[in-house]
Chains A and B, each alone.
Chain A
Amino acid sequence: MCGIISVIDRSRNKMNGESIKNALSLMDERGSGEGAGYAVYGVYPEYADYYALHIFYDDLAEPKAAVEDLLEKWGKVEYDEEIPTYDQERLKKDHTPWRYFFKPDGSFFSGSTEEDSIIHIVNKINTEIDGALVFSSGKNIGIFKASGWPEDVANFYRIEDYEGYIWLAHNRYPTNTSGWWGGAHPFNLLDWSVIHNGEITSYGTNRRYIESFDYKCTMETDTEVVAYLADLLGRKHGLPEDLTVKALAPPFWDEIDKMSDDKKELYTALRMAYGPALMNGPFAIVIANAEGIIGFTDRIKLRPLVAAEAGDRLYISSEEAAIRRMENNLDRVWMPSAGEPVIGRFNK
């Protein structure tokens, strides 16, 4: 189960959260009321140079003081506030969401990049500070999620008040782990956000692989590794998006064996080097970063995925009906084949 929907406006025209909320709510039967969430890119233009850290606090005393101590130590908080929320009858407020616009102090991180320092801080908070959880840490992006039904979560944050040029939304039906706020999608690390429908049977392998590169899995669910793998392959190892997808959901050996020599060599190398990053099991995933979105399914397409275009907008979703809720006048609708990436990038 689970329902996913995402949209990019390639000309960076902003969209508010109203229509994606309606689209996600249409897929209510794909969830269980235990988790929904929204990611929006381009949402904090006035703080575009700062990392927007969204943090769930269990209480506003100790964990908050500990986080703020840590942030003071490692850099500077330009502005912070409680993320405004609005009580909903069916949604129990388990945590208080807070946001910080933060810049790390370069002098602490000689030899590594600013991004690495943010990963380090996120890991530190999530593993060492009880009662605090960073659930969004990119620049000019924000994630809004909770345990609840899509429309309740949207109303809780008043998602229609936010606007951006990429939206991702997810309705969760947890089968592996309990429904808790941290376990709701989208998952995020830096620029990368992930929504996922399915179960990753290779999680044990993927987790051990990614942890050997110093990422720490703290969300008790299989989806977070996708964000980390995207960061490792895409940002750190510099693979283009389509090859990243081919590493995560590679062609079968039968297909590789039939390729031209050059391609065979490339795809063999990709599988050899990134075998432990290969994701198995039924899944449909959309990954976003500051440059665009990319959607793909597992290698035998055990989960549905539909793509559609209308003008500058590209939609990727579990259901065509959900896309049509956002835009009924579509230029093109298609079902991508198994493992084939659908890529939406901004116009240059």
Chain B
Amino acid sequence: MTIGSTPVKYRIKIDQDLCMLCERCIENCSYGVFRREGQKIVPDFRKCTACHRCIAMCPRDAITLEEKPNDYRSHPLWTREAREAIYNQANSGRIILSGMGNAKDYPVIFDRLVLDACQVTNPSIDPLREPMELRTYIGKKPRKIEINTVKEGDYELKTKIAPNLKLETPVMIGHMSYGAISLNAQLAMAKAVNKVGTFMGTGEGGLHKDLYPYQNNMIVQIASGRFGVDINYLERGAAIEIKIGQGAKPGIGGHLPGEKVAEDVSKTRMIPLHSDAISPAPHHDIYSIEDLAQLVRSLKEATEWKKPVFVKIAAVHNVAAIAAGIAKSSADAVVIDGFRGGTGAAPRVFRDHVGIPVEAAIAAVDDKLREQGIRNEVSIIASGGLRDSADVTKAIALGADAVYIGTAALIAMGCRVCGSCYRGLCPWGIATQRPELVSRINTDEAAQNVENLINGWTLELAELMGAAGINSIESLRGNRDRLRGYLLDEGIMEVLDVKMIGA
């Protein structure tokens, strides 16, 4: 006991005048913070993760939570986090795990980009009264099209168009696997994307049979562990995604602990009950772009060239060259996941320190593909910490075709970004497999929430486009003229290739 315990992070207060001893807090807190002692609810602050479940469920608004101020000696370098990480590792000798996205205070580039609007000379367009087109096709596009003239003014298409995903809004939901999140969470999102005409990813956890009715809106994922992958799985997906890397943990694989591998998860993933599901960092059949191309083509071959194949990589410093290689591997889309991407569980050191912001990655990839004259032949999907419709609009203006959201969709279902997903006790029923917690999600209600979120963002995107005098998403894509840098340094402005405010 050299080190002893560290100070508690959150303080929970119960207003005894308001509390009616209904014990809902006890019931709702899966971390076991509350207990009843006689006529009183007594909290054990130390266990609290600030997930807000108790607060949201208290019928009397009797619970308050506050972050406890730092009571270490203040120091600019040896922050509370730095010190506590050391205590933690001095005790455990292990890698420190964390959930959700990057928690470091890096400047957010999106917040230093502002959008533009029309005034006078160029009328803005009112999406309520004028058509506004957000339909987006994801997949390979021909460089040019060839036609036969049947007779004057009447043509026949000669070019064969490769299969594409047709999106009614450029917002999709990224891959979160069954195992990392609950089936109810997946089901709710599946219902939502089906309703709004967009897509979601299965993650690397296979496709549970309850999701079959929504398979036309699902993108199946293949990670290095190949969990749940067979021809039935491939054929069910609307598209196939090969996951090479993930923004929250570039360069490392995944690990789902055996205790989360309950019966249904084991069946869906096709692995033994309670065995650890480890997807290694590399795919052991991919060590070069040629190898990747082989996998892309064999997946296409297996599904009779009827499905687009995406390749997902984490945004890292040479992302542009890698993406160009991917584009040449016959892949139909490249997914770039920035360093703010969320995760169920990642070593903290990776989550907070590896990778680059997605804004810079989109710009660099879009530039590179243009330089090679192939930009329009492959789609770019951007993800990693998109928080609102402004982020989506900016990502598209920088060069993305569409985006994946992750954390935002979870927040729409209640997630409070407590960052404790890796513990499997998510009180909102999202990042857990415990049936009593999973059942907290009513899939219809949660689906409605996710649908509302995507619809809300889509309406705002349409308004932002209208303000810029643009009525089709094609004209926003890569339109960096519509962005201006505000308090960004020259180096970043150069990478983003945007002008300064006032210019």
List residues of chain A with CB within 8 A of the CB of B135. Answer: 253
B478 is contacted by which of A205, A242, A243, A302 (Cβ under 8 Å)?
A205
Q: Mark A96-127, 1 if CB is under 8 A from B, else 0.
A: 00000000000000000000000000000000
Q: Is B176 an interface position by the 8 A CB rule?
A: no
Least Cβ–Cβ distance between A172 and chain B, in angstroms:
13
State the CA gap A269–B469 with chains docked (Å): 25
Residue-wise, chain B 48-88 has the 8 Å CB interface mask toward A (1 for contact) of 00000000000000000000000000000000000000000
Q: What is the CA–CA distance of A71 and B225 in the complex, to the nearest angstrom?
A: 62
List residues of chain B with CB within 8 A of the CB of A21: none
- Residues of chain A within 8 A of B125, CB atoms compared: 300
Chain A residues positioned under 8 Å from B142 (CB to CB): 269, 272-273
Distance (whole angstroms) from the CB of A228 to the closest CB of chain B: 14
Determine whether B391 belongs to the interface, using a CB cutoff of 8 Å to chain A: no
Q: Are A276 and B474 in contact (CB under 8 A)?
A: yes
Chain A residues, Cβ within 8 Å of B371: 212
- Closest residue to B118 on the A side, CB-wise? A201
A336 within 8 A of B: no
User: How does the 8 Å CB contact mask read for B135-146 relative to A, with 1 for contact and 0 for none?
Assistant: 101000111111
B312 in the interface (beta carbon within 8 A):
no
Instruction: Give how many B residues have a beta carbon under 8 Å from the other chain's beta carbons.
Output: 46
Contact between chains at B145 and A203 (CB < 8 Å): no
A interface bracket (residues with beta carbon within 8 Å of B): 35 or more
B164 within 8 A of A: yes
A281 contacts the other chain (CB 8 A): yes
Which among A4-12, A188-196, A260-268 touches the partner chain? Answer: A260-268
Q: Given the complex of chains A and B, what is the CA–CA distance between A310 and B145 in angstroms? A: 36
Asked if B224 is at the interface (CB within 8 A of a chain A CB), the reply is no
With a cutoff of 8 Å between Cβ atoms, the chain B residues found around residue A236 in the complex are: 144
Which of chain A's residues has its CB closest to B483's CB?
A204
Name the distance in Å between B11's Cβ and chain A's nearest Cβ.
51
Residue contact A275 to B477, C-beta cutoff 8 Å: yes
B409-466 at interface with A (beta carbon < 8 Å): none
| Interchain CB contact under 8 A, A269 and B130 | no
Tell me if A268 and B161 are in contact (CB < 8 A): yes
> B141 and A273: CB pair below 8 A?
yes
Residues 452-495 (chain B) with a chain A CB within 8 angstroms: 468-472, 474-482
Q: How far is the CB of A114 from chain B (nearest CB, A)?
A: 21
Are the C-beta atoms of A266 and B478 separated by less than 8 Å? no
The reply to whether A243 and B161 contact each other, CB–CB distance below 8 Å, is no
* Alpha-carbon distance between A209 and B143 when the two chains are bound, in angstroms: 11
- Asked whether, in the complex, the Cβ of A253 is within 8 Å of the Cβ of B133, the reply is yes
Q: Which residues from B are CB-within-8-Å of A254?
A: 131
A interface residues (Cβ-Cβ under 8 A, vs B): 1, 175-176, 198-199, 201-205, 207-209, 211-213, 236-240, 242-243, 252-254, 262, 265-266, 268-276, 278-282, 299-300, 302
Beyond A199-B121, A204-B481, A209-B478, 5 additional pairs, beta carbon < 8 A? A201-B470, A213-B373, A237-B145, A243-B147, A280-B471
